[in-house]
Structure 1
Amino acid sequence: MLPAIEVPFTDLSAMAREVWPDIETTYTEALLAARYVGGPAVARFEENFARYCDTTHAVGVANGTDALQLTLQALGIGPGDEVIVPSNTFIATAAAVVRAGATPVFTDVDADTLLITPAILAAAITPRTSAVIAVHLYGNMPDMDGLAAVAAKAGIALVEDAAQAHGAEWRDRRAGSFGAAGCFSFYPGKNLGAFGDAGAVVTSDENLAERVRSLANHGRDGGANHYEHMYVGTNSRLDALQAIVLDAKLARNEDWTEARIGLADRYRKELAGSGVRLTEVDPLARHVYHLMVVRVADRESVQATLKKAGIQTGVHYPVPCHLQPPLRKYASAPLPVCERAATEQFSLPLFPHMSRAQVDRVCEVLDGVTPR
């Protein structure tokens, strides 16, 4: 029997402590000099993040939801257009479609990966379809070659919701580099998280990047005339203090990702053959494990046992998008895989500074409550 040790769901303070010595001087100087919006710090992070994602442009915005909405608007998608969205995702994916004025069309997902597939996408396309949002949920990427081929054949835009997938890959290509654009969140709990809300759009389409940047800055044209506006935009800018934090964390993200992958591999090894169902990963994908999602038949009971043992867990997500009250009017049919997964899935503790002993403790308790 392993000693009864506490296991938090995550530990954001450990990451903050690791980067703080490197950013303390720069962060404090920017703070005291009142350099808060835009400037060299933002430009530097945008350049570095674009390179990290294998794209040529990155535009910092206020959050991941704005990244999705601004991308759709920059693509000219709005009223009268349909956007295909897998229902097993955080509500922000669908909310961005509605906020852009378009109609979300919800699809089911694969029973093993809980992600959209090319076949599911092809079956959902109608004459009104303008785009599909491929969600790299939990840090895992779907078949991007297949999705891109279906989207290209149909003449629709492929947008990547990569809010949970910083550094994820499909066939050695980074998340964000497949579609018209990739949309990221830097919410503090993400693999690459800021000290507050932040987000970014990455793309290799210069015109699209310019439109997103303009829309995020009140529609300004980017020229010398501060009061000339080309679009009715919004205020969604990445601030300099967050950019300083993100740049320092970006330099460590590969090390932190490898730590996540190693811990996830340990979970998979220890839980193999147990009563816990694990989401599958295609051999062509690099899963970066924003979340370690498992499925059990009696989730509430299992979570209660883990909590009693001092182990924190989360649920991602208990209600699929098509069953959320403000989105039910867009639901056209039951989505059985999403609906069943929503009652079974929950997330185990996983973070870069987690110890192997903590993983083993979680698995020991799970073994006791989900017999092999």
Structure 2
Amino acid sequence: MPIDRYYALGRSGLRVSPLALGTMTFGTNGLYGSWGSTEEVSRAIFDRYLAAGGNFFDTADFYTQGTSEAMLGKFVAEAGVRDRVVLTTKFSNNVEFGNPNAGGNGRKSMMRAVEASLRRLRTDYIDLYLLHTWDRITPAEEVMRTFDDLVRAGKIRYAGLSDVPGWYAGRAQTYAEAHALTPLINLQLQYSLIERNIEPEFVPLAQTLGLGITAWSPLGMGLLSGKYRPGEGGGTGEGRLTQKASGPTVGLFTEHNWRVVAALEEVAQEVGRSMAQVALNWAATQPGLASVIIGASKVSQLDDNLASLDFELPTKLRQRLNEVSARTPPFPYPMFTDAYQSRILNAGSSVGDKPAGYAPPVWMEKPSIGG
């Protein structure tokens, strides 16, 4: 699965690379400034990804206080590749202290945010525009109406959601379908060997409603890269996980995760690949996944990530990773196992699915949902 073999994102005609380049590290004035990249390094990373055949770039207005968007827009303009690349950016986080409408998911905030992003990205349209995080307030109907207006105005081409509850995504997509509005084509969610909670709810939701999933943090905030080891206080290693952290980086040094890391290291040794490459390969080839977002603060790190698609994990080794990283599904999913469902369907009679040949074939190498 080379990076320049493109797949349709969700139920759309937008073709994207199986590895997207995340640009949260473009700039040194963000949440993790000491791990950010200067403009020179960021440009080298951009050039390397583009030369490899990648076309899918991910940023947000909040990344490095707008520097990420500004750098990415400059690089695209100077390279003259606007029509070739797919630019994704996001809105939600407040960018102006004391102004409640400078953040959130409401129409006023979204309209302000999209204009600011267009200026920084030096473009007159955004390929994929995402709600960054659910604000717990704005109705899905308001979000979908505004997305539709932005598409009709030519400001954006496609829309999606990031980090929202499953019911909210379902409500939004169903509302759009019922009112002939622009449908969503993307869900951006955290997913990795140590974070598989999206599997019971979001993956079937995406497959049913035509949403391609893009995975952020496929290396588990760096834990799956191999640079951390168990130690006093949870773990040791050079990186943000051993510094004072907050949000999704809290609580990663657990016994379960260390078992995953140990198994990943053994599998990586068996296939002669780096731990990061194996972790990315596993995520990129999981059901429902359209693209995996990789990030890098130096070119050598990007090169290692790009090589994650150059091999196929043997079935037994994949199963080993599946088993060690598995989590007990939350209620009510244990009730949907074959054993439990047999009480509902069989009841002394023969009930089952129709033969595989009943449904007409889909003449595609890979479903449009990317999984």
After TM superposition, the score normalised by the length of structure 2 is: 0.29
Identify the structure with bigger relative contact order (alpha carbons < 8 Å, sequence gap 6+). Answer: 1
